[in-house]
């Protein structure tokens, strides 16, 4: 979500005549787009803003703006804590940036806009502006969330749920495809509620419309709330040829007691039923999830239930977070908080268990041939030089696994191997976070 918003901010700045720079020292304007989902992200944002004070002292004309969820949550408190900040804009105020920056430049001190709006400002053009050479891009289809999980700050900092019109979404995707993008990930806090409030089409209908755009090669979405994962959406994995065989389905806990306290509105049994149906309809589907450990009141037996769930499901990938108290969310006033030490112990225990499953899932692919969408050079290959004997590329399988491979650097192959192409790779090795293979170009 933040990558998408940052691209929008960058587009606005470019259209105001600003250019990108690689160093903070040479910037005339610095905007920090912040996240407040967990305490660590918020601390990181504040420590970055803190460091900018030194720069501002050296360069008093530097304009500093803070946007995103921390701005939305802290509002003018940021000015009190960091008086050298020039402006603050909330999650609904990105499109007001031109006016905000104009006010600052004409002498206004401490400009702030953190108002929530009930409409979505449509701009289908900005995304493709920034997408040169990108194989894959995000497209936001809705904003906000009204699920009110008790630990989560999103409903308070991103506001009520609102969906974009399908024609605006399709226009944005067509522009991205024109600029060379091959894979689109549709984004929303809970894509399954897409269009419900506004009486637009359903999410599976939207997916089908995007699938019909013949120049698109791959389609993904995130995130789907387990309580709303409908049969129709599960069937989409079978019916839509471009929908990749991966779903991210956050469970958060393997204990019904904790799920209830989290206000997740499903049980472990409901979740497992959906996993079974997904695997029945789409046997190759890769499933990943999020888990919060150390939620207030999580006993050892609750935690052990989470371990049992992980063992039962065998996820392809898992993100584990230690519970983090967020301002004004219901769980921050719950009793029986766990110590940081215990949360870390549980977090590491889950990561240890999961590592085995991730590796197991990756190992199953050894000796198979995978279609890999090339995303760019691998981390090892910084630039491409004519003197290089091999070029190291990196891409993803439909099941969202990273594949690294190298190709001889000669003109015969250079046309087939470039960002955005889908190539066949024979998988030779499996690691915990990636696969390695060889190209099948003959």
Helix axes 268-281, 300-313, angle to 10 degrees: 10
321 binds ligand 5AD (CB under 6 A): yes
Binding residues for ligand 5AD restricted to 136-155, rule: CB under 6 A: 151-152
- Give me the 217-246 binding string for ligand SF4, x by CB under 6 A, dash otherwise: --------x---------------------
68 binds ligand 5AD (CB under 6 A): no
Q: How far apart are the first and last CA of the chain?
A: 40
Question: How many residues of this chain bind ligand SF4 (CB under 6 A)?
Answer: 10
Binding residues for ligand 5AD restricted to 235-294, rule: CB under 6 A: 250, 252, 290, 292
Cis peptide leading into residue 223 (ω within 30°): yes
The residues, any chain, with a CB within 8 Å of residue 340's CB and separated by 6 or more, are 322
Minimum Å gap between C-beta 168 and ligand 5AD is 26
- Report the half-sphere exposure of 104 (CA within 13 A, side-chain side): 23
- The residue with its CB nearest to ligand 5AD is 290
CB burial of 10-32 (b: ≥16 within 10 Å; e: otherwise) equals: bbbbeeeeeeeeeeeeebebbbb
* Short-list 381, 376, 378, 372, CA closest to 427: 372
Residue 155 partner contact from ligand 5AD, ligand SF4, none using kind-dependent CB cut-offs of 5 to 8 Å = ligand SF4
326 binds ligand SF4 (CB under 6 A): no
DSSP secondary structure, 144-163, as one string: ------TT--HHHHH-S-EE
* Short-list 281, 288, 280, 435, CA closest to 370: 435
Residue 290 partner contact from ligand SF4, ligand 5AD, none using kind-dependent CB cut-offs of 5 to 8 Å = ligand 5AD
Binding residues for ligand SF4 restricted to 188-207, rule: CB under 6 A: 189-190
Residue 193 partner contact from ligand SF4, ligand 5AD, none using kind-dependent CB cut-offs of 5 to 8 Å = none
* Short-list 55, 132, 122, CA closest to 86: 55
Between the CA of residue 66 and those of 90, 144, 227, 281, what are the distances in Å? Answer: 8, 20, 35, 46
- Rounded Cα distance between 264 and 292, Å, is 12
Residue 38 partner contact from ligand 5AD, ligand SF4, none using kind-dependent CB cut-offs of 5 to 8 Å = ligand 5AD
Residue 37 partner contact from ligand 5AD, ligand SF4, none using kind-dependent CB cut-offs of 5 to 8 Å = ligand 5AD
Comparing CB distances to ligand SF4, the nearer of 86 and 222 is 222
Binding residues for ligand 5AD restricted to 24-63, rule: CB under 6 A: 37-38
Q: Residue 375 in contact with residue 419, Cβ under 8 Å?
A: yes
Minimum Å gap between C-beta 291 and ligand SF4 is 12
Binding residues for ligand SF4 restricted to 131-160, rule: CB under 6 A: 145, 147-149, 152, 154-155
Helix axes 231-239, 203-211, angle to 10 degrees: 10
Minimum Å gap between C-beta 310 and ligand 5AD is 14
- Rounded Cα distance between 92 and 72, Å, is 9
- Give me the 325-354 binding string for ligand 5AD, x by CB under 6 A, dash otherwise: -x----------------------------
338: which DSSP letter? P
Question: Contact region for ligand 5AD (CB under 6 A) — 24-32, 198-206, 307-315, 321-329?
Answer: 321-329
Report the interface residues with ligand SF4, using CB under 6 A: 145, 147-149, 152, 154-155, 189-190, 225
């Amino acid at each position: 979500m933040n990558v998408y918003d940052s691209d929008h901010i960058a587009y606005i700045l470019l259209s105001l005549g600003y250019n990108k720079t690689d160093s903070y020292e040479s910037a005339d304007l610095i905007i920090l787009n912040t996240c407040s989902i967990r305490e660590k992200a918020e601390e990181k944002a504040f420590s970055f803003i803190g460091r900018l004070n030194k720069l501002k002292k050296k360069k008093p004309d530097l304009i500093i703006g803070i946007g995103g969820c921390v701005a939305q949550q802290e509002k003018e408190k940021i000015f009190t804590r960091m008086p050298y900040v020039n402006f603050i804009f909330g999650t609904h105020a990105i499109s007001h940036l031109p006016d905000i920056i104009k006010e600052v430049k004409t002498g206004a001190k401490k400009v702030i806009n953190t108002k929530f709006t009930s409409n979505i400002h449509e701009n289908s053009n900005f995304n493709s502006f920034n997408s040169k050479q990108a194989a894959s891009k995000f497209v936001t289809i809705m904003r906000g969330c009204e699920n009110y999980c008790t630990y989560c700050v999103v409903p308070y900092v991103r506001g009520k749920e609102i969906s974009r019109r399908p024609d605006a979404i399709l226009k944005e995707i067509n522009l991205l495809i024109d600029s060379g993008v091959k894979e689109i990930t549709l984004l929303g806090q809970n894509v399954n509620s897409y269009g419900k409030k506004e009486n637009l089409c359903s999410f599976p209908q939207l997916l089908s419309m995007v699938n019909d755009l013949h120049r698109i090669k791959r389609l993904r979405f995130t995130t789907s709330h387990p309580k709303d994962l409908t049969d129709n959406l599960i069937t989409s994995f079978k019916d839509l040829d471009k929908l990749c065989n991966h779903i991210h389905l956050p469970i958060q806990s393997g204990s019904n007691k904790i799920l209830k306290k989290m206000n997740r509105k499903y049980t472990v049994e409901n979740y497992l039923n959906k996993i079974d149906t997904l695997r029945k309809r789409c046997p190759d589907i890769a499933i990943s999830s999020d888990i919060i450990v150390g939620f207030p009141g999580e006993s050892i037996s609750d935690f052990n239930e989470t371990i049992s769930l992980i063992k039962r499901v065998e996820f392809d990938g898992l993100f584990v977070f230690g519970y983090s108290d967020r301002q004004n969310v219901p769980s921050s006033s719950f009793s029986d908080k766990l110590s940081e030490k215990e949360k870390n112990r549980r977090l590491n225990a889950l990561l240890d268990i999961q590592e085995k499953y991730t590796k197991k899932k990756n190992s199953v692919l050894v000796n198979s041939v995978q279609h890999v969408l090339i995303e760019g050079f691998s981390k090892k290959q910084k630039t491409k030089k004519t003197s290089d004997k091999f070029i190291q590329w990196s891409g993803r399988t439909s099941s969202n696994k990273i594949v690294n491979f190298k190709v001889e650097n000669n003109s015969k192959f250079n046309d087939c191997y470039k960002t955005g192409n889908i190539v066949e790779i024979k998988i030779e090795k499996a690691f915990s976070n990636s696969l390695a293979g060889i190209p099948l170009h003959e």
